[in-house]
Chains A and B, each alone.
Chain A
Amino acid sequence: MTDNKNYEDRLESLMNQLAESVLGLSDEAILAETFEAGADPQQEAERTRLVLRQASKAFDNVNNRLSNLGHAINPNDWRCEQWGYHNNCLNCGSSVSLTTTTGEMRGEALDGLCPESDQYTIRKREASRR
């Protein structure tokens, strides 16, 4: 231990400052560094883009799925837990969880229609009138 700091704080201090230093790099510098580090910049960028696309799609999928099953969730109620993000249907209380990296979603809310929802009481009158 040096300077009254333990090893975990020292490592964190080093890596966080290196992280910050990346943000000030010019476009040319970041490309050159990636290449020098033995990676293809285009492939690396595409790989990272896919991570965010996947996270976005996972979020869409869980919302669409819940909506299609008649469940209603409060977007304020998403909470971060051990296994990804967690929420509950406002109507029936069943749970749903989502993890972004794999896009995996689980929970009984995804197993079937919300029993408390008035789903399929279809108000076709408006649609058929047109």
Chain B
Amino acid sequence: MSHLLPFIDTRLQFETTHEPPSLPEPQLPPTKNINASTKTALLVENDESLLSFLRSFLKNDGYAVRTAKNSEEGLRLYRDCAPFNVVLINYCVPPSNAVGIDYLAPQQPHGIGLAIAIRQINPSQGIIIAALAYRNAGEVPRPPELMHIPFITEARNSQLRGLLEKIEIDRMIEMLTTKDWLKLQKFADFRVRGLGGAARGRTGEDLLGDALLRTLIGAESTQKGRHWNKDVDFVWHLTGAMRSISTCWKRQFKETEPHLISEFPVHDAGEEHSLLDSLASQHAAADQRLIEQDEEDRVLAMFKHDPEATQVLQGLLDGLKKNAIMPRYGLDERRYAATVRRIRVKLLDRRNGVDRGDDHDR
């Protein structure tokens, strides 16, 4: 498989291809203790050049790497040291008795057998299969249970990095706690409710899904989407993405909102103007304004028997911050927090007719 190395677009490739396989690699950082490392990878690859390239790539990306040169060794390492953040397997890795007897049809490549065996141990284990003898993933024979595992047919840095990031993001989704999910959900719901008509029927779930999709696009490309910096908490990252997406939705809505008839310019005699020729209005359409006003009235009516909540609501509606609202209405920290809590609970209470699926369609 070493003839395929010219496809590898990395400087490291050239450093490693000319290196005798048996020599030590003093230029690489020492392998971290696999148990102490934050990111771990199992690399099952028998081709020395490719092994060297992939190991360097993973180490440079912060992974502590275990390597195996056949599927039997790979499975043993997996059983001993799992879980790994990622397992990268050569499709054509040499056979293994253990895997062959238990899992493989005779004609099935051993890399596939190993992947199946690992998925049976841990169904959510992130796996990448390198099938560099093929031109694209579509032509690589594989069983139905591995249809969703990513196959790479070229050892490209950008593709590998994108797949590793995708696996990390999926891992984070599984690691978030109940409290994290609830925060994300409520944050999204409030942001979408704040859009009013600009939400165009979208829900908090739409906003959250969009935030993740942009993160996934950002995993493949740092130029588009929202790249997740691993130093930033994942919940924090997603809330940041939701802020910017909801702001973008509102801007798009303003750019395309309908005009008032009264806003159209006076036409010259005999000259017709298309409605599309005119610029977007700087003012919300009248019906839209009525919807927003109605929503504000509805919110205030929910708290008509709660004077403190009404005061805090008025302050928040006026765009005041906590530090301005508290002295204005003589509230201390504790009373302010308790009041905001009552507002949050009541506004998201489905018994008050709030349902994330339809409240924006009203």
Interface residues of A (CB under 8 A from B): 2-3, 5-23, 25, 27, 29-31, 33-34, 36-39, 41-42, 44-49, 51-61, 63-64, 67-70, 74-78, 80, 85, 98, 100-101, 117-127, 130
User: Taking chain B's interface residues, is the majority helix, strand, or loop, or is none over half, making it mixed?
Assistant: helix
Contact A36 B345 (CB under 8 A): yes
- Residue B313 lies at the interface, judged by CB distance under 8 Å to chain A: yes
Known: A44-B182, A48-B181. Is A21-B344 also a contact (CB below 8 A)? yes
Q: Which residues in A have their C-beta under 8 angstroms from that of B351?
A: 38
Supply 5 further A-B pairs (C-beta < 8 A) apart from A8-B196, A77-B224. A33-B186, A37-B345, A54-B209, A59-B213, A64-B147
Which of A17, A39, A127 is in CB contact (< 8 Å) with B350? A39
Contact B138 A17 (CB under 8 A): no
Which of A7, A16, A54, A55 is in CB contact (< 8 Å) with B190? A16
- Residue B5 lies at the interface, judged by CB distance under 8 Å to chain A: no
Complexed CA–CA distance, A32 and B212 (Å): 27
Contact A27 B179 (CB under 8 A): yes
B interface size (C-beta, 8 A): 87
User: Taking chain A's interface residues, is the majority helix, strand, or loop, or is none over half, making it mixed?
Assistant: helix
Contact A11 B292 (CB under 8 A): yes
Contact B134 A123 (CB under 8 A): yes
Contact B220 A75 (CB under 8 A): yes
Minimum CB–CB distance from B203 to chain A (whole Å) comes to 8
Complexed CA–CA distance, A18 and B190 (Å): 7
Minimum CB–CB distance from B310 to chain A (whole Å) comes to 12
Q: Mask for B189-223, Cβ within 8 A of A = 1, else 0?
A: 01101111110000101101110110011001101
List B278-313 residues whose CB lies under 8 Å from chain A.
Answer: 283-284, 288-289, 292-293, 295-296, 299, 313
Which of A44, A85, A124 is in CB contact (< 8 Å) with B213? A85
Contact A101 B217 (CB under 8 A): no
- Residue B83 lies at the interface, judged by CB distance under 8 Å to chain A: no
Minimum CB–CB distance from B102 to chain A (whole Å) comes to 21
Q: Which residues in B have their C-beta under 8 angstroms from that of A46?
A: 181
